[in-house]
Structure 1
Amino acid sequence: MTQATTDTGTGKRLTGYAHGGGCACKIPPGELEEVVSGLDAVPGSPNGELVIGLDTGDDAAVVRLPGSPDGLAAVATADFFTPVVDDPYDWGRIAAANALSDVYAVGGRPLVAVNLLAWPRDVLPFDLAREVLRGGLDVAALAGCHVGGGHSVDDPEPKYGMAVTGVADPARLLRNDTGRPGVPLTLTKPLGIGVLNNRHKATGEVFEHAVATMTELNADASAAALAAGAVCATDVTGFGLLGHLCKMARASGVTAVVDAAAVPYLDGARESLRAGYVSGGTRRNLDWVAPHTDFGGAGEEERLLLADAQTSGGLLIAGEIPGAPVIGELVPAGAHPLVVR
């Protein structure tokens, strides 16, 4: 753990320009469901068949390509957020990895991305914006994904992310509505990113292991899930483990049972939570899942950690993946979509 040294030239750290940080800034899941309710696809005959759309709030849209000689489907997604760390290069890397994750979460392979940049041009120097874009470019290169320009706006609050297009085999997709009873639940990255990021924003402490976790691509996890024959998955981001798992359980018509003792956490996560570094996004996540969850004997600390708003988290896979911890299982639908034991 080190102290932040990045100088914006304004006497204010980069995270100080954001009202929140990373995926913790997402609109709460309950409010978002109300906004998109009834916004079904417009009737007609668009070019291509929509395989994954808005219905269950999955990670990316998937459209079967008519006339494709190899039968591939196109995958499309977009993701952006406010600064989650003070280092602009790391912020760019994290935001790019997070956007690419949506493609991996449905079993796809990213092909091309475009940048989405909002920047307070009269406040923050463009040298910092260049570093953000450089970070995104470097992570996209690691993913074998082209970056072809993008779009920018003058905004009082800096934001960065990507719109990503990829391809997938429509017969081998990972969806959030295909979970079945009797299947274990696997998590490919530890939780605790949210509380560590909130501590970083408040104190300037740099948690290099959290940055390493957020910049790790979910490419290998996605490939392992497909190789294991998994058909159900989602990534764990702003809605927290419980929020994304609740959406999966409801969409699949099952109950998800979480073994709280088996869930892995980043070093320092519990200590940061006990010190009070809990984001508003995490508390909103917990408020949303609470009516749908049997928490058993789990106390507030455990509940908040399980609802911790992640940024560029891992994949939550219905299936057993080599090297990744099993944190629970799917069972026949019961009184609650979620059970914590």
Structure 2
Amino acid sequence: MLHESVFRTMDLPTEDRFEAWTQRVGRTHAPLDLSSDRAADYHAHQRLIELGDVVVWPATFDSLVFRRTPKLVRQSDPEMYHLSLLLQGEAGATWDKQEATYRNSDIHINSSSRSYEIFTGSNPVTIVGVEIPRALVALPDRRADQAVGRPVSGRGGVGALLSQFLAQFVSDTGTYQPQEASLLGTVVADLVTAVFAHVLDADLLMPPETHSRTLVLRIKAFIRRHLGDPELTPDQIAAAHHISRSHLYRLFQADGLSVGAYIREQRLKNARRDLADPALRTMPIHAVAARWGFPRPADFTRAFRTLYGIPPSELRRTGAVGDAVRAGTLR
């Protein structure tokens, strides 16, 4: 499993909770001056997931005001960008006589090198935070700094790629191995760079390798949205992204995949999940197969057996999926 630590104020005496949260946030990002009308009995929960030099931290916490003052910047600057994906609640920010508000699925960007004030609403908020060294955002520093404070929608475009990746990642980190941490950190860094470039309309400044990796992520998201279409083809995928089929193949080859294999594995993964879902127990196996792009049951059974070692009927009949997953025989 990835290196992950958990912090809960509820594990501490009431009088120590807010100060402990202040210290925790200061170590996670940079020293901050925090205040809250709930400080007397503060509730916060944070998971800290280390991905090499990048840190991802899902958290839920009571109403709060974060202040990064000029004095604190002078005293300590780890030169980090911070991004917050707001999943629940509301928030606002002020910096350099500017201000912005944020709603669900918006992404906020700030920098440890700038002073700012961030304030949340009266209800608890849930976020996924990202701490990334300035050096890992592959844009010129002065240009990248112009993205600070600008609201980014996580509901569409490149912002959606980042928000979907973060939400899916933090929902199940147990499937990743420690040796994958640096690779996952690179994925996050590429997506953050793409978000910055989108905000600044600076795509041409991104390194070619970042362009390519971001395009692969965008294509994979497109494929996952269209898995139920049995007519999904490389030509259709390439056309939707304004590239040639040969370019599509090269992108996936560089990622160690073939387009067809990726589509097939994603379809089988979703079908396996549905077959193991008690709520879908009455759905016929052929209907599950058709739902994920296998119109011919025999083709589905053969592909499923090849990948997982058992036919779909046996998995559903014996409930073997739980034991198989725990034993590591199902991916």
Q: Which category of TM-score, normalised to the shorter sequence, fits these structures?
A: under 0.3
TM-score (norm 2): 0.27
Q: Give the helix-richer structure, 1 or 2.
A: 2
Greater relative contact order (Cα 8 A, min sep 6): structure 1 or 2?
1
TM-score (norm 1): 0.27
Give 1 or 2 for the bigger CA radius of gyration.
2
